[in-house]
Structure 1
Amino acid sequence: MKTPFILLLTLLLYACSSAPPGISYYVLDGPGQPMSAINSNAATVTLASLTLPDYLRQDGLVMQLGPNQLHMSDRHYWAQSMSAGIESVLLKQLNGDNASFQLLSVTDPGVLQSQYQLHIQFFHLLIEQQNAVRLQASYWLTGNDNPSPVLHGHSDISLELTDDGYPHAVAKMHQTLIRFSQQISEDLGTLITENKTH
């Protein structure tokens, strides 16, 4: 009679020891400093389009294993879409207190009166074999009266990973987006300021 009990106990212990690890969820932009109030005197720019590659339009975090090989995690997921997370970071970073323009989402009031449209295309935003986080993107600005770009820029940002694990990598992704926002802010701010003086 003891043998079946011992066998059952052994199976239960084995099942507990081989249980799959938990699933983790991440956000690119967590709660923090609220967005600044809209400056009515600043030029308005609408984030008209934000394009991501197909591999970033799924839930698993992505790591590059080789030049042409990507790994999609089955235990580490985004809690929101990448496009929503990126847009949230950009809106907070580009709408600082001293900004020379105000960035609006397509759902913001007053978007129809916006003077410029910002278009962003991401080529990569991923972890590179536990060594770095890489952001590659292109952006351009158009005006209401001219569909041709009045400004065009490229960004290639790489930040070294100094710790292991996905939480650290996600924090580095957030930092790359902050740097990307700074580059956009400088380029757009210069153009908009020059246009105001003419």
Structure 2
Amino acid sequence: MKYIVFLSFFLVSCTSAPLSVNHYLLHTPTPVVTEAHNKQKTPIYFSSVTLADYLRQASLIIQLNEHELHYSRQDLWAEGLQSSFYKALKHDLNFYNSPKNITEANSVENALTLKVNLQHFLITNRASVISSGTYSIKPKGANWLQKPFYFTIPLEKDGYPHAVSQLRKTIESLALQINQDIRNIQSSNN
């Protein structure tokens, strides 16, 4: 009898449809264009992105209410959020800061240092996405300038693909805000 129950359970589990898993990227591959750093612009050393502990996993997250989160088992980041967010923000910083002067080398003389601390990066049950945290900029020989950021963008369609594209737009907004602060620092140093 035990074997019949086990065999029935095994056959039923084999016939159920497999879980469909979707993977999402925050950045897309773009051609690499190397430019010499502009001597008149201060280079920017983008040192790190740190994540809140709850963001350090592969699932996309939906905030169901003020204190409850849902981690999707079917909709995942294609690579770690920390790495993907870093790549997307670096791309946008370079895009909005021409000529490109974002460097990964800490040895560049007179470079500003940039760090980002991401506290929230999620979809809400109120048909929006939220990205928030702080970023810090340190000119050589000066104190850290720390600024908060908070971006929310409404969802116009259902589904994770649209939500991810809206989350991506929050990174563009962050790049614009950071670049404005960097321009202010650079103009005050000239």
TM-score by length of 2: 0.84
1:128 maps to which of 111, 124, 135: 124
Partner of residue 53, structure 1: 52
Residues 98 and 117 of structure 1: CA distance in aligned 2, closer, same or farther (over 3 Å): closer
Partner of residue 116, structure 1: 112
Alpha-carbon contact 2:59-2:72 (below 8 Å) kept: yes
Partner of residue 4, structure 1: none
Alpha-carbon contact 2:97-2:179 (below 8 Å) kept: no
Residues 130 and 34 of structure 1: CA distance in aligned 2, closer, same or farther (over 3 Å): farther
Q: How does 1:31-50 map to 2 (within 5 A)?
A: 31-32=29-30, 34=32, 37-41=35-39, 42-50=41-49
Q: How does 1:72-91 map to 2 (within 5 A)?
A: 72-91=71-90
1:25 maps to which of 15, 23, 34: 23
Deviation at 1:144, TM superposition (A): 2.9
CA distances 1:90-148 after superposition (whole Å, capped 9, x unpaired): 1111113753772223xx4xx312421112111101001161000112112113323x2
Alpha-carbon contact 1:133-1:169 (below 8 Å) kept: yes
Alpha-carbon contact 1:36-1:96 (below 8 Å) kept: no
Alpha-carbon contact 2:112-2:138 (below 8 Å) kept: yes
Deviation at 1:168, TM superposition (A): 0.7
Deviation at 1:32, TM superposition (A): 3.8
Where does structure 2 lack aligned partners over 5 or more consecutive residues? 1-7
3-state SS of 1:43 partner: coil
Alpha-carbon contact 1:47-1:104 (below 8 Å) kept: yes
Deviation at 1:38, TM superposition (A): 4.2
Alpha-carbon contact 2:60-2:71 (below 8 Å) kept: yes
Matched, 1:190 2:179: no
Over 6 Å off, 4+ runs? none
Alpha-carbon contact 2:48-2:86 (below 8 Å) kept: no
Partner of residue 164, structure 1: 158
Count of residue pairs the alignment pairs up = 179
Residues 38 and 25 of structure 1: CA distance in aligned 2, closer, same or farther (over 3 Å): farther
